[in-house]
Amino acid sequence: MSWAEKYRPKTLDEVVGNREAKEELRRWIEDYISGRDRRPVILAGPPGCGKTTMARALARDYNFDVIELNASDTRSAEVIRSIVGSAAGSKSVFGRRILVLLDEVDGISGSMDKGGLREILNIIKVAKNPIIMTANDIYKPSLKPLRERCKVINLKPIPTNTILSVLKKIARKEGLEVDEETLKLIAKHAEGDLRAAINDLESLALGGSLSPEDAKKLDNRNVEKSIFDAIRMILKTTNYNVALLALWDLKEDPETLEEWLAENIPREYKKMEEVATAYDYLSKADLFLGRANRRQNYSLWRYASALMSAGVALAKKEKYRGFTPYVRPKVFTKLLQSKAQREILKKILSKISSKTHVSTKRAREDLVYLSTILERDPYLGAQLVKFFEFTEDEVEYLTDRNTAKKIFKILKEKEKKKVEKKKEVKEDKVKKKKEEKKESKGKQITLEAFLQ
Ligand SMILES: Nc1ncnc2c1ncn2[C@@H]1O[C@H](COP(=O)(O)OP(=O)(O)OP(=O)(O)O)[C@@H](O)[C@H]1O
Ligand SMILES: [Mg+2]
């Protein structure tokens, strides 16, 4: 477990900073319970200041069970609807009341997600449970309708001194030998993001170097980790903990990370058996993800994350040094393309599913692997293309123009060789027949001669 997770406060009292906001939140839940204010609440504030933590702590303090959902996950709406719409849904199996925590609602503000936002607004109207939403930026114009229907509580970045006191406590509990100056540098560098500070402390401790010089080297990264950073950490490390660390403050859902890893594993790993092992872990992670979503058992996400990060990381025997240019998953970007492109995708999926007897949904999951094989091994790729009866357009969609050309050249050459061989065989046969005829004629002659 990461230190940020290990030292996550369980109760509101333990949450540091934002004293007024904490009070406001308490007042809200009391008003909710008494029926005075049934609006959902939005906790708005920068990353790592304790939004999710406060929501969970409040639930615990007031004896609610929490259902935690990510707002930008399209499945969330379905789950919430099945829970909050009915009176039965207001109690958990343990007979306790349910509080819905809808994390990161600002993630749905894109124009593509108008439907998602409408869905949430509808749900709010009928909900019989208290709902807490969290967001980094609630003042985007597109979120106005949501803002108007909720009580907004603003959280501020955690002051450097407060961060410092938390770091000191953790350092003491972990038995670290670290001087005040180092901790101060870490605290300052985090710019109000307590999670980032704790993560920095942990990664410096993991690296065995806790000096002011090391703390100064903490690069001026954007506190929100990009998916590039996450896959770089996973693909470069051979350390279990570091791999897990990669997912901690990542703002992407597990499915997205999965696609990114699938796309980039063969770009980093050079040994075929490592690529195979890594894919094996990835597909196991995928299994857990599917199960988590089907059973709405989100604790399974933990296993999926471990398989996806540490499993993939440890699939390699040793580190690959040097810079690897990672790329965006092809399948991922292509889904956003034109209608014509989507038609091609549809054809590809239906070909895969009819040849291999799987659902088109499952076929879509296989696309990443297929693209990778086509690119890495055009000869094997050619066999697959023949098997699935893909057209050149379709192969180009899955890879790129050059690869498609290469594969179809291979296929053409194969075809040519086949035709030549057939011709040869045919010529051979004709030749043989002629010879046989000759021979039999010869025989006839001898026979005739014999008879004469
Ligand atoms: N106010 C706080 N008091 C104590 N610990 C905190 C506080 N804020 C953050 N932390 C630490 O940072 C970790 C992450 O905090 P949390 O998940 O609540 O951040 P968040 O505000 O929800 O961030 P995000 O916007 O990225 O979702 C916690 O597990 C905890 O260790
Ligand atoms: Mg959060």
Q: What is the pLDDT of residues 404-438, one digit of tens each?
A: 999 999 999 998 988 888 888 888 888 888 877 66
pTM of the model: 0.54
Pick the residue with more confidence: 276 or 116? 276
CA nearest 45: which of 144, 151, 158? 158
CB 222 within 8 A of CB 250: no
CB 100 within 8 A of CB 132: yes
CB 227 within 8 A of CB 256: yes
Q: Check residue 331 and give its pLDDT.
A: 57
Q: Check residue 336 and give its pLDDT.
A: 46
Asked whether the predicted pLDDT for residue 301 surpasses 90, the reply is no
Cα distance between residue 71 and residue 5, in whole Å: 21
| Longest CA span, the chain | 127
Pocket test for ligand 1, best of 1, 13, 19, 49 (most atoms within 8 A of CB): 49
Q: Check residue 95 and give its pLDDT.
A: 64
- Give me 412's structure tokens: 């053409």
Estimate the share of the chain in helix, then strand, then coil, as percent rounded to the nearest 5: 65, 5, 30
CB 390 within 8 A of CB 370: no
Tens-digit pLDDT profile for residues 190-222: 889 999 899 889 878 876 778 888 787 775 444
- One-letter amino acid at 52 equals T
Q: Check residue 172 and give its pLDDT.
A: 96
CA nearest 309: which of 359, 267, 246? 246
Residue with tokens 């936002």: 117
Cα distance between residue 345 and residue 395, in whole Å: 10
Pick the residue with more confidence: 300 or 244? 244
CB 196 within 8 A of CB 158: no
Pocket test for ligand 1, best of 194, 245, 249, 250 (most atoms within 8 A of CB): 194
Q: Check residue 29 and give its pLDDT.
A: 97
* Atom number in ligand 1 closest to CA 55: 18
Q: Check residue 6 and give its pLDDT.
A: 93
What lines the ligand 1 site, CB under 6 Å?
A: 4-5, 7-9, 15-17, 47-53, 134, 136, 158, 194-195, 198, 249
Tens-digit pLDDT profile for residues 377-393: 889 999 999 999 999 98
Pocket test for ligand 1, best of 20, 52, 68, 158 (most atoms within 8 A of CB): 52
Tens-digit pLDDT profile for residues 39-87: 999 999 998 999 999 999 999 999 998 888 877 666 666 666 666 655 4
| Tally of residues, the chain | 452
* Atom number in ligand 1 closest to CA 3: 31
Query: 84-93, 104-113, 162-171, 233-242: lowest mean pLDDT where?
Result: 84-93
CB 396 within 8 A of CB 425: no
- Kindly state the average pLDDT of the residues 172-185: 93
Pick the residue with more confidence: 451 or 318? 318
Average pLDDT along the chain: 83
Split at pLDDT 50, 70, 90, the class of 92 is low
Cα of 434 to ligand 2 centre, how many Å? 85
Cα distance between residue 198 and residue 196, in whole Å: 6
Split at pLDDT 50, 70, 90, the class of 446 is very low
Tens-digit pLDDT profile for residues 334-375: 444 566 777 888 888 889 888 888 777 777 777 777 888 888
Which ligand sits closest to the CA of 53? 1
Cα of 171 to ligand 1 centre, how many Å? 18
Pick the residue with more confidence: 450 or 228? 228
How far from the centroid of its chain's Cα atoms is residue 73's Cα?
Answer: 11
- Give me 311's structure tokens: 């499993």
Asked whether the predicted pLDDT for residue 114 surpasses 70, the reply is no
Q: What's the sign of the alpha-carbon dihedral 436, 441, 442, 444?
A: positive
Q: What's the sign of the alpha-carbon dihedral 383, 388, 391, 397?
A: negative
Q: Check residue 328 and give its pLDDT.
A: 74
Cα of 314 to ligand 1 centre, how many Å? 29
